[in-house]
Amino acid sequence: KNQVEQSPQSLIILEGKNCTLQCNYTVSPFSNLRWYKQDTGRGPVSLTIMTFSENTKSNGRYTATLDADTKQSSLHITASQLSDSASYICVVRSNTNAGKSTFGDGTTLTVKP
Amino acid sequence: EPEVTQTPSHQVTQMGQEVILRCVPISNHLYFYWYRQILGQKVEFLVSFYNNEISEKSEIFDDQFSVERPDGSNFTLKIRSTKLEDSAMYFCASSESGGLNTEAFFGQGTRLTVV
């Protein structure tokens, strides 16, 4: 069964600090992995997409990594800001005709001043 | 910047009533989706829609659910006879194409409360 597991479930950090969120998946065959940011009460917004051949990709203060062999991804946030407080969701898409996406439960990040 | 818009932002309905959730996808997008998120749980795929027909649906999308593109701009989700467990945030999304790497853009969601 295709699954996406994220850790930690929640995280509290101080403003300015860095943090790393983890995503492990069993989706097969793999097409891509996307990290979304979801502010409370809003729709998810894509931060970055990782395909099979990509190991690292940055989007501003966000850096995603992918290890397709171990089926792990991470999202590193540098110099956190209060506005980074949100749920971060890992979504893995299958490389099939239907291209079904499997969502993780998300990591709730709280950045405190 | 173009965005997916959903109305209403919050809908309260009595159990057994029909409800229609409305979405206006981004204008040049061809693929449309509905997702739901029960409070405190993960986002779940409901249905995808292309060329005026359902292209894929999940096991959640049973006979109580239907989707329609009644005109050139709106995309609706109808729940025929709402149940308490239908209470959730419903997100509409759209994408330019059905390519696996194509980004789907989400609306702000409609919070449905069934009482």
Predicted confidence band at B101 (pLDDT cuts at 50, 70, 90)?
confident
CB-count exposure of residue A42 (10 Å: 0-12, 13-18, 19+): middle
What's the confidence (pLDDT) of residue B80? 96
Whether the per-residue pLDDT at B95 is higher than 80: the answer is: yes
What's the confidence (pLDDT) of residue A14? 98
Whether the per-residue pLDDT at A37 is higher than 90: the answer is: yes
Predicted confidence band at A99 (pLDDT cuts at 50, 70, 90)?
low
Question: Are the Cβ atoms of B101 and A31 closer than 8 angstroms?
Answer: yes
What's the confidence (pLDDT) of residue A98? 62
CB-count exposure of residue B84 (10 Å: 0-12, 13-18, 19+): exposed
B89 contacts in chain A (CB < 8 Å): 41
Residues 67-96 of B with CB under 8 A from A: 89, 91, 93
Q: Tell whether B4 lies on the interface with A, counting CB pairs under 8 A.
A: yes
Q: Chain B: residue nearest A32 by CA? A: B101
How open is the CA angle B27-B31-B35, to the nearest 5 degrees?
Answer: 105
Residue with tokens 């792990």: A72
B64-82 pLDDT tens trace: 999 999 887 899 999 999 9
B8-52 pLDDT tens trace: 999 999 999 999 999 999 999 999 999 999 998 999 999 999 999
- Mutating which of A35, A38, A40 best tests the B interface, going by the most B Cβ atoms within 10 A? A38
Which residues face A74 on adjacent strands?
A: A22, A65
Tokens read off for B14? 């009595």
Report the relative pairing of strands A86-94 and A62-67 from DSSP bridges.
unpaired
Question: Are the Cβ atoms of A43 and B109 closer than 8 angstroms?
Answer: yes
Whether the per-residue pLDDT at B98 is higher than 90: the answer is: no
Please state, for a pLDDT cut of 70, what percent of chain A lies above it. 97
Predicted confidence band at B86 (pLDDT cuts at 50, 70, 90)?
very high
A47-91 pLDDT tens trace: 999 998 899 999 999 999 999 999 999 999 999 999 999 999 999
What's the confidence (pLDDT) of residue B16? 97
What's the confidence (pLDDT) of residue A101? 86
